[in-house]
C-alpha cells in the first residue's frame, strides 16, 4: 500500500492489512453490504474461520472480523488471481498515480461494483 508505514513480515500480513483498510474505508463511506475478494485463500480462511491464539496474525484477523460486524452483510471470498484482473488494473493505476491510501480527504472514485450496497438482493 503506497504511503502506508507498515512493518509486515509476510505476504499474508500485507493481504490482511489491505482487507482491513478496505473494510475501514467501506465503513467510512457508509456501505452497509460488502463483498471482499482476495487472491489469498489463507487470508480468507483466517477471517472466516478464525485462527489459533498463538497465530502471528491473530490481532489483525480479529480487527478485520470486528470491523466486519459493523456491516449488515460482509462477505470475505477467495478469488483466484486469474479471475481477479480488475484488482490488477486498480493496483496498476494506484502505482502509476501514486494513490495515497492514507490521505483519503479527497473523494475516492471507484468505478467498480466490488463494494456496493444492495448485495443482499443479489445473493
Q: Is 89 helix (H, G, I), strand (E, B) or coil?
A: helix
Share above pLDDT 70 across residues of the chain, in percent, rounded to a whole number: 61
> Rounded distance, CA 57 to CA 49, Å?
13
Its sign, for the CA torsion 120, 72, 1, 106, is positive
What is the model's pTM? 0.64
> Rounded distance, CA 96 to CA 98, Å?
6
| pLDDT for res 94 | 63
Per-residue pLDDT tens for 84-119? 666 667 667 766 766 555 554 444 444 444 444 444
Q: If you search the block for the grid coordinates 478485520, which residue do you land on?
A: 64
Question: pLDDT tens digits for the chain (123 residues)?
Answer: 444 545 557 889 999 999 999 999 999 999 999 999 898 999 999 999 999 999 999 999 999 999 999 999 999 999 887 766 666 676 677 667 665 555 544 444 444 444 444 443 333
Amino acid at each position: 500500500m503506497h504511503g502506508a508505514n507498515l512493518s509486515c513480515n509476510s505476504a499474508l500480513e500485507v493481504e490482511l492489512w489491505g482487507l482491513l483498510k478496505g473494510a475501514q474505508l467501506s465503513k467510512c463511506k457508509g456501505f452497509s453490504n460488502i463483498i471482499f475478494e482476495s487472491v489469498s485463500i489463507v487470508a480468507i480462511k483466517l477471517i472466516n474461520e478464525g485462527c489459533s491464539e498463538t497465530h502471528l496474525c491473530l490481532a489483525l484477523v480479529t480487527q478485520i472480523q470486528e470491523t466486519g460486524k459493523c456491516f449488515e452483510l460482509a462477505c470475505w471470498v477467495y478469488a483466484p488471481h486469474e479471475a481477479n484482473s480488475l484488482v490488477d488494473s486498480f493496483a496498476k493505476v494506484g502505482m502509476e498515480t501514486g494513490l495515497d491510501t492514507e490521505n483519503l480527504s479527497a473523494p475516492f472514485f471507484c468505478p467498480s461494483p466490488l463494494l456496493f450496497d444492495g448485495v443482499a438482493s443479489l445473493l
